[in-house]
């Protein structure tokens, strides 16, 4: 089973897949350098790096997007300071926010799945729904598991604390939608 | 910006700098696994001593390690605070609604603090004594056994190398784009809310399109130079193992023995 999966993964990859995946990994890294944008009405600042993950999911699709995020997380795990704020190393995977990093890995798959349900439509409501489900709900659900496990907090208490991130996440979804609509003609 | 382009690598001529990066990578991985053997003050004390000795061997000033620790401070404070406020057991010092400050919570928070700190220290030792490309090379080398289960190690290695190679290029491109947009009136960190949110779009779209153009051009260049996925290839950058690299394995073997013995107390 694993062997078959890996064979398909390697066998179906073209050189263009390799370069696209690599460049998007580099893009996620670069976006991590930009400082979060603080906005008075939002309780937490907008982290630009999240756009990289969302855009990788939208543009690369589920397979290459997941691979792109996976390699990014591997580089972070190896100690390179590629998360926003210069964080990196295995330590980030043991902190309370480790669940969100794992959720990043699954986001391209979930977004791809929802888009398939809409028949791969590029209509705004289809991409909006996929970003809401894959980009926000999935991340919060998995991220809360991380908080719950690391800190011994009841799960639903951790989940409800994610409300503070909702306004910023919605802004990110709308902006990602706008960017994707403009970029898709170049794909 | 320049500091970021170089990652965290700091030139030096210490024993740790000269180690094979695979030895350092294996040591870091081993440490992360070993740290879960720690369960009392004796075992955590041993881990701290081993970490400090390794840091001393790099001959790099403590200020650098503090800089490595600082970005993680919020995460550590957040995790430890959650532990203190919501864990109960042992003597109860304060009880107020859902918040509980207890002996068990405080002890556990100290352990978590030590665990996170030492993991960060060991990661910092790896990244300040090893260039990023060598870290990626070492990781790809250690992945070779996965070829037995047909994991595409070569593609994985190539993607890592390309990604690391183009981080400075994209960084430079992003800086140029931001300056160009500023010249046209965009504001990224001031102005009203709508203006700042909208400024993200003219920054990200050119960066995205530029990335995709690089990807296409690079794929064509690699194809023209007869790069073929899955075919055997030689390597220009080679890693060589020396006898002195074994000391790292001995170091962690001793740590393992000490932890196994001391955790019974």
Mean of the pLDDT values across residues B21-47?
A: 83
Q: What percent of chain B has pLDDT over 70?
A: 84
SS3 labels along A8-46: HHHHCCCHHHHHHHHHHHHHHHHHCCCCCECCCCCCCCE
Residue B237, in any domain of the structure: no
List, run by run, the mean pLDDT of 10-residue segments along chain A (187 residues).
Answer: 47 77 90 75 73 88 87 84 75 77 88 80 80 85 81 76 80 86 72
**Is residue B73 within 8 angstroms of chain A, CB to CB?**
no
Q: Which domain holds residue A125?
A: 2-186
> Domain total for chain B?
2
Mean of the pLDDT values across residues B181-185?
A: 80
pLDDT for B88: 64
Nearest by CB to residue A81, choosing from B8, B158, B227, is B8
Name the maximum alpha-carbon separation found in chain A. 51
One domain for residues B106 and B211: no
Of A27-31, B21-25, B36-40, the range with the lowest mean pLDDT is B36-40
Q: Evaluate if residue B158 carries a pLDDT over 80.
A: yes
Give contacts of B152 with chain A, Cβ < 8 Å: 6, 9-10, 13
Output the six-digit token pair for B17: 């700098």
pLDDT for B6: 43
Which of B208, B209, B229 is the best residue to mutate to test the A interface, defined by the most A CB atoms within 10 Å of its own CB? B208
What angle separates helix B132-142 from helix B103-129, to the nearest 10 degrees?
A: 100
Q: Of how many residues is chain B composed?
A: 265
Q: Which domain holds residue B159?
A: 153-224
**Is residue A79 within 8 angstroms of chain B, CB to CB?**
yes
One domain for residues B131 and B213: no
One domain for residues B10 and B130: yes
pLDDT for B3: 38
pLDDT for B215: 92
pLDDT for B118: 85
- For B114-124, what is each residue's pLDDT tens digit? 877 888 878 88
pLDDT for A50: 82
pLDDT for A6: 43
One domain for residues B36 and B157: no
Nearest by CB to residue B208, choosing from A22, A39, A55, is A55
pLDDT for B5: 40
Which of A55, A72, A79 is the best residue to mutate to test the B interface, defined by the most B CB atoms within 10 Å of its own CB? A79
DSSP B72-106: GHHHHHHHHHHHHHH---SSEEEEETTEEEEHHHH
pLDDT classification of B190: cutoffs 50, 70, 90: low
Of the candidates A81, A48, A83, A33, the one whose C-alpha atom is nearest the C-alpha of residue B171 is: A33
Nearest by CB to residue A2, choosing from B1, B149, B212, is B149
Residue B232, in any domain of the structure: no
One domain for residues B162 and B138: no
């Amino acid at each position: 089973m694993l062997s078959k999966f890996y064979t398909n993964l390697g066998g179906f990859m073209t050189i263009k897949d390799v370069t696209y995946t690599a460049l998007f990994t580099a893009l996620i890294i670069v976006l991590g350098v930009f400082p979060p944008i603080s906005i008075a009405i939002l309780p937490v600042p907008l982290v630009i790096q999240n756009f990289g993950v969302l855009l990788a999911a939208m543009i690369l699709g589920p397979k290459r997007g997941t691979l792109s995020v996976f390699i990014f997380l591997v580089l972070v795990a190896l100690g390179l300071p590629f998360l926003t704020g210069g964080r990196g190393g295995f330590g980030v995977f043991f902190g309370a926010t480790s669940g969100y990093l794992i959720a990043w890995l699954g986001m391209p798959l979930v977004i791809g799945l929802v888009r398939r349900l809409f028949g791969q439509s590029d209509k705004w409501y289809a991409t909006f729904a996929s970003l809401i489900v894959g980009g926000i709900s999935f991340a919060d659900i998995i991220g809360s598991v991380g908080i719950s496990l690391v800190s011994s907090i009841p799960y639903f208490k951790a989940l409800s604390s994610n409300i503070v991130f909702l306004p910023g996440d919605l802004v990110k979804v709308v902006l990602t939608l706008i960017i994707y609509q403009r970029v898709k003609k170049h794909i | 910006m320049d500091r970021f382009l170089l990652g965290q690598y700091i030139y030096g001529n210490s024993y740790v700098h000269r180690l094979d990066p695979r030895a350092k990578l294996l040591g870091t991985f081993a440490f992360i696994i070993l740290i879960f053997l720690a369960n009392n003050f004796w075992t955590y004390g041993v881990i701290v001593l081993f970490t400090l000795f390794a840091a001393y061997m790099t001959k790099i000033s403590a200020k650098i390690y503090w800089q490595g620790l600082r970005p993680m401070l919020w995460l550590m404070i957040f995790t430890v605070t959650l532990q203190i406020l919501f864990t109960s057991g042992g003597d109860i010092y304060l009880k107020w609604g859902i918040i509980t400050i207890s002996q068990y919570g405080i002890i556990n928070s100290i352990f978590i603090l030590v665990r996170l700190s030492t993991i960060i220290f060991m990661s910092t030792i790896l990244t300040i004594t090893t260039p990023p490309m060598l870290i990626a090379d070492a990781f790809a080398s250690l992945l070779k056994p996965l070829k037995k289960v047909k994991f595409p190690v070569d593609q994985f290695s190539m993607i890592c190398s390309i990604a690391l190679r183009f981080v400075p290029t994209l960084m430079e491109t992003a800086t140029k784009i931001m300056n160009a947009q500023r010249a046209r009136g965009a504001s990224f960190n001031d102005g009203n809310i709508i203006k700042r949110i909208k400024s993200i779009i003219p920054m990200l779209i050119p960066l995205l399109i530029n990335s995709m153009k690089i990807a296409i051009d690079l794929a064509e260049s690699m194809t023209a130079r007869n790069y073929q996925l899955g075919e055997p290839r030689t390597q220009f950058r080679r890693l060589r193992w020396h006898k002195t690299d074994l000391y790292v394995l001995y170091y962690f073997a001793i740590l393992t023995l000490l932890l196994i013995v001391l955790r019974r107390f």
